[in-house]
Amino acid sequence: MDEGSYLLRVADLVRETADAVSVVFEVPPEHAEAFTFRPGQFLTLGIPSDRTGLVARCYSINVPPGEPLQVTVKRTPGGFASHWINDELRVGATVRVLPPSGIFTPKSLDDDLLLFAGGSGITPIMSITRTALRDGSGRVVLFYANRDEQSVIFAAALRELAAEHPDRLQVVHWLESVQGLPSTAQLKAFAAQYAAWTAFVCGPAPFMKATTDVLKELGFPRARRHQEKFVSLGGNPFGDVEEVAAASATLAEADDHEAEDDLPADAGGPEGPVTLVVDLDGEVHEYDDWQPGTKLLEHLESKGLRAPYSCREGECSACAYRLLEGEVKLLHNDVLDEEDLADGIRLGCQSLPVTDRVSITYQ
């Protein structure tokens, strides 16, 4: 087993719709701490593959913290992993899983939340909704778009939540079969009623872009506008099952050399070890030996810290952190946009130090 992953038993499979299933995992008590999560986070699953041994896929958690760990997977056209989970996975099987990751999570459960979900994008939104209603005091408004009534995931659960919290939860269903696709004007008119609330958006790329553009036009500041980003992982964070142990040292050395070679001569980077201050899981650590050619994630792992990660290739946001002091260079970035970067968000798996002192937080 890869050092950062765990084999979890499938305790139950819940058929949500004809094309979506929730996978409930059994987490042994000795691994409970590793699988502590925040609402809106996701798991990375290792799906068996004849060609590569395992392929990595990320699926969002749909429950509030403290409930049995589960993710929801919707079948997608041509989707190898989603078809395997929907058709082949059985109760009692074991799946290789990385601990929870992601930054698509509210900072305060007492905020008023404006939530937009499209299709299977409801999964992290459901976790946020359930947690906010259970543990917070704010109001929640959910705009949920689907193709038709049969494709609405968690329809019964949402009805029950709305009945239990009539003064705090409002659910607005939008069905393409009845109303067509929501237009920019319609999304804007809806969101304008909640301009002081904190917004979260998850769903298909066109839906997220249209909704996010509307929120920007309405003046939602970056701190109150959150967008989940789905990117198919090209790499395999689990490694090849048979070769990972023998190759790990060689790969780590190669990564360091590649990082060093990638630094431009005039980058003005540090000549010696860098001081790193990191706030992780509520604890602050300080090290004075971060080498210029070593990626941040690898340095933290060498110190025994369980920093979040998934793809290790800059293709997802699992390892994202916020830069508080100093500067870093990103070797690769397929997920953070200009606003994210301006807000100080960086990727741990692709960060090299540029200044002699760097301070970051994963909170």
CATH entry 3.40.50.80 includes domain 113-227: yes
The reply to whether domains 6-101 and 113-227 share a CATH topology is no
User: Tens of pLDDT along 96-109?
Assistant: 998 998 888 999 99
Token duo for residue 56: 């990595």
Domain boundaries, the chain: 6-101, 113-227, 250-361
Question: How far apart, in Å, are the Cα atoms of 170 and each of 115, 199, 329?
Answer: 10, 14, 43
Helices (H), 312-355: 338-342
Residue 235: HSE in the Cβ half-sphere, 13 Å Cα cutoff:
13
Selecting from 3.10.20.30, 3.60.20.10, 1.20.140.10, 3.20.20.210, what CATH number does the domain 250-361 have?
3.10.20.30
The count of other CB atoms within 10 Å of the CB of residue 33 is 11
The pTM is what? 0.78
Q: 304: burial class by Cβ within 10 Å (0-12, 13-18, 19+)?
A: exposed
Sheet holding 345-347, edge to edge: 283-290, 274-280, 357-361, 320-325, 345-347
Amino acid letter, 362: Y
Looking at residue 68, the DSSP 8-state letter turns out to be P
Amino acid letter, 61: I
Q: Which long-range contacts link 248-256 to residues 24+ away (Cβ below 8 Å)?
A: 252/298, 255/295, 255/298, 256/291, 256/293, 256/294, 256/298
Amino acid letter, 259: A
The residues pairing with 48 across neighbouring beta strands, listed in sequence order, are 54
Determine how β-strand 283-290 pairs with β-strand 274-280.
Answer: antiparallel
The residues pairing with 275 across neighbouring beta strands, listed in sequence order, are 357
CA distance 323 to 340: 11
Question: How far apart, in Å, are the Cα atoms of 207 and each of 189, 203, 212?
Answer: 16, 6, 8
Tens-digit pLDDT profile for the chain (363 aa)?
A: 445 789 999 999 999 999 999 999 999 999 999 999 999 999 989 988 776 578 888 899 999 999 999 999 999 888 889 999 999 999 999 999 989 988 889 999 999 999 999 999 999 999 999 999 999 999 999 999 999 999 999 999 999 999 999 999 999 999 999 999 999 999 999 999 999 999 999 999 899 999 999 999 999 998 899 988 655 555 566 654 443 333 333 333 333 333 333 333 344 568 889 999 999 878 999 999 999 999 999 999 999 988 888 777 787 777 889 999 999 999 988 888 888 898 899 999 999 999 999 999 987
**Per-residue pLDDT, 92:** 97
**Per-residue pLDDT, 149:** 96
Residue 201 CB contacts under 8 Å (≥ 6 apart), including other chains: 116, 121, 207, 208, 211, 212, 215, 225, 226, 227, 228
Of the candidates 305, 304, 312, 302, the residue with the CA atom closest to the CA atom of residue 348: 312
CATH class held by domain 6-101: mainly beta
Give the angle 4-97-2 at the CA atoms, nearest 5°. Answer: 35
